[in-house]
């Protein structure tokens, strides 16, 4: 059975998903498209068997939301709530699981790849994990093939405001963490223009949960505004070539370095949901 904190976190992530998907579908309608999210529920694999809902003592599962439209070439918005036991080796890499490999995790994960090269791709996730410790993590980063300074400034300003309302030390720390995390060492480039990234935010549940909600609200406020600002711009074949080449860098990062991808694969998650972050089209010259 889920405890009060676990239930509250899961409910928030599911509510945020619903509101994000509603807003993204509204953008599609504004563009003259009737695209809508397709939802697929899944249960977590446990060995060769699928386990049931957490409330019934199972290993949990989630819902994969996917939309392919006119503005959003491919966008995935997933919520999962899973629990179980880490493998001994993987437990050594997880905060608080070194001595006890049991875990609970719930969270939302979003990646949007846009049709128009002038509209930035984006990633956002927030999560709540329970091992022998309890903590929140997450963040968001903007990934434009054709960067606009105005978009970068506005994106960072939205998350700085969310951070500053809770702790003035959050933004400089979490921005630097994002700059370090969203970096592709073998290319020696950042995959985008940054954002914020935080992990192992533990201590007072209510305080940290409030901050995590603020991160989600900041995303829901700023990203649709940036999309609407750029989605009507014309683009050239050269712009699209830049988009497809840039997507290759994004795919490399997610397959080689991304912690969320590794966590999902190591804990028996849904493969289609885990790999929804990969772009629909990509070019390696």
**153-166 tens-digit pLDDT:** 999 999 999 999 99
Q: Which residues contact 120 (CB under 8 A, 6 or more apart)?
A: 114, 142, 143, 144, 145, 147, 151, 192, 193, 226, 230
The verdict on whether 123 is a catalytic residue reads: yes
**71-103 tens-digit pLDDT:** 999 999 999 999 988 888 888 888 888 889 899
Look at residue 53 in the predicted model and tell me its pLDDT: 65
Residue 47's pLDDT band (cuts 50, 70, 90)? very low
Mean pLDDT estimate for the chain: 92
Phi first, then psi, for residue 136 (nearest 5°) are: -105, 155
Domain-embedded: residue 117: yes
Query: Is the whole model's pTM more than 0.75, yes or no?
Result: yes
Domain-embedded: residue 160: yes
Range of the domain at 252: 4-277
Domain-embedded: residue 268: yes
- Which residue is it, tokens 């439209």? 69
Domain-embedded: residue 139: yes
Domain-embedded: residue 282: no
Domain-embedded: residue 197: yes
Domain-embedded: residue 121: yes
**54-77 tens-digit pLDDT:** 665 558 889 999 999 999 999 999
- With 0-12 CB in 10 A as exposed, 13-18 as middle and 19+ as buried, what is 28? buried
Q: What is the CATH number of the domain that holds 260?
A: 3.40.1500.10
Domain-embedded: residue 283: no
Looking at the structure of the chain, the number of domains it has is 1
Choice among 95, 113, 118, 123 that is catalytic: 123
């Amino acid at each position: 059975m889920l405890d009060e904190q676990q239930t509250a976190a899961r409910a928030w992530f599911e509510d945020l998903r619903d509101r994000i998907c509603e807003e993204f579908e509204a953008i599609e309608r504004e563009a003259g498209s009737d695209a809508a999210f397709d939802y697929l529920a899944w249960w977590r694999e446990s060995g060769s068997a699928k386990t049931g809902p957490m409330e019934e003592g199972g290993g949990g599962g989630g819902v994969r939301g996917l939309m392919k439209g006119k503005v959003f070439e491919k966008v995935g918005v997933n919520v999962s709530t899973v629990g179980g036991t880490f493998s001994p080796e993987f437990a050594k890499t997880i905060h608080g699981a070194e001595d006890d490999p049991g875990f609970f995790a719930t969270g939302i994960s979003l990646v949007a790849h846009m049709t128009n090269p002038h509209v930035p791709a984006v990633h956002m996730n927030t999560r709540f994990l329970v091992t022998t410790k309890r903590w929140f993590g997450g963040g968001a980063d903007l990934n434009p093939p054709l960067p606009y300074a105005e978009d970068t400034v506005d994106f960072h300003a939205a998350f700085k405001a969310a951070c500053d309302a809770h702790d003035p030390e959050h933004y400089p720390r979490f921005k630097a963490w994002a700059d370090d995390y969203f970096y592709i060492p073998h290319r020696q480039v950042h995959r985008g223009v940054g954002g914020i990234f935080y992990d192992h935010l533990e201590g007072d549940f209510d305080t940290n949960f409030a901050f995590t909600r603020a991160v989600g609200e900041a995303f829901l406020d700023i990203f649709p505004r940036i999309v609407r600002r750029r989605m009507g711009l014309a683009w050239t074949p050269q712009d699209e070539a830049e988009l497809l080449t840039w997507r290759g860098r994004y795919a490399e990062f997610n397959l080689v370095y991304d912690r969320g991808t590794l966590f999902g694969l190591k804990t028996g998650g849904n493969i289609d949901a885990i790999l929804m972050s990969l772009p629909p089209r990509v070019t390696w010259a």
